[in-house]
Amino acid sequence: MRICIEKARARIYEIIELSPGDDKLSTAYDLTMMTAILASLVPLVFKNTNPLFSLIDKVTVAIFILDYLLRILTADLKLKRGWVSFLLYPLTFMAIIDLLSILPSFDILLSGFKTLKILRLFRTFRAFRALKVFKAFKIFRYSHSIDIIVDVIRSQKEPLIAVCVLAIGYILIAALVIFNVEPDTFNNFFEAIYWACVSLTTMGYGDIYPVSTAGRLVTMVSSFVGIAIVALPAGIITAGYMDTINKDKSQ
């Protein structure tokens, strides 16, 4: 009996994990989950709700809850830490994403229980409702392309962290310089940081801008340096992506 249960759990784990391509049932599961994720995002595009959107929300959240439970059931096969895996899995990144995507709609399934009215009160808070957007992140688990990009980011973690530190340092320094060059333009240091971020990305919204000659010179330098800093992560990720693709081809 125990052997049969373990075989069943192993098969469930194979199905719910990203399909290697030759497992038709796993591929069908991935496609079903992708469809459910995309369908669950449709109501978020509209301000108003209707019976169809409510039905979509109920069906998709039921699917997500089932997927969440199956992943907890096979947590030891995923993390390979024995019984401790069942305690650690809910704390993993994707498990937290799964839970955050379920909670805003969970009260729909329990709407008939008067004792759980407190759950329905959460829907009055926009911030809680905005958690539904986390459903989009669930796509990461079922896409081979995104899986490759995540692997690339992992492999290029150190240079990307170095670029992020460089960008943050540059933003703080540029904000400090412009805040002292034009104290009348910026009411506080946060506005200077906002300006530095906008200048770094060369967006140029125009809501906050320097008016003095010195301030404009700082902006020009900031924009040129910003182009170089923004280009660095793109080059690092592209190089890592090509290395990953070449390794896959050679294998």
Regarding predicted confidence, which is higher, 113 or 98?
98
On whether residue 150 sits in a domain, the answer given is no
Answer yes or no: pTM beyond 0.75: no
Q: Report the percent of the chain where pLDDT is more than 70.
A: 83
Residues 81 and 189 occupy one common structural domain: no
Alpha carbon 185 to its chain's center: 35
Q: What confidence tens digit (pLDDT) does each residue in 209-238 have?
A: 888 888 888 888 888 888 888 888 888 888
Q: What is the pLDDT of residue 16?
A: 87
What is the average pLDDT value for the chain, to the nearest integer?
79
CATH code for the domain in which residue 201 is found: 1.10.287.70
pLDDT of residue 125: 45
Supply the DSSP symbol for 135.
Answer: G
Regarding whether 230 and 134 lie in a shared domain, the answer is no
Cβ–Cβ under 8 Å, residues 60 and 49: no
How buried is residue 219: exposed, middle or buried, by Cβ count under 10 Å (0-12/13-18/19+)?
Answer: buried
For the chain, what is the radius of gyration of the CA atoms?
24
Would you say residue 136 has pLDDT above 50? yes
User: What local confidence, expressed as pLDDT, does residue 113 receive?
Assistant: 46
Comparing CA positions, the residue from 210, 172, 202, 206 lying closest to residue 189 is: 172
Same-domain check for residues 41 and 132: yes
59, 112, 130, 179, 201 from 117: Cα distances, Å: 21, 9, 20, 50, 46
Torsion of CA 150, 151, 152, 155, to 10 degrees: 130
Mean pLDDT of the region 132-158: 74
- Whether the per-residue pLDDT at 126 is higher than 50: the answer is no
Other CB atoms closer than 10 Å to residue 113's CB: what's the count? 11
Residues 126 and 15 in one domain: yes
**Does 169 lie in the same domain as 107?**
no
**97 vs 250, residue with greater confidence:** 97
12 and 135 share one domain = yes
Q: In terms of pLDDT, which residue wins out, 200 or 73?
A: 73
Q: Supply the range of the domain harboring residue 203.
A: 155-250
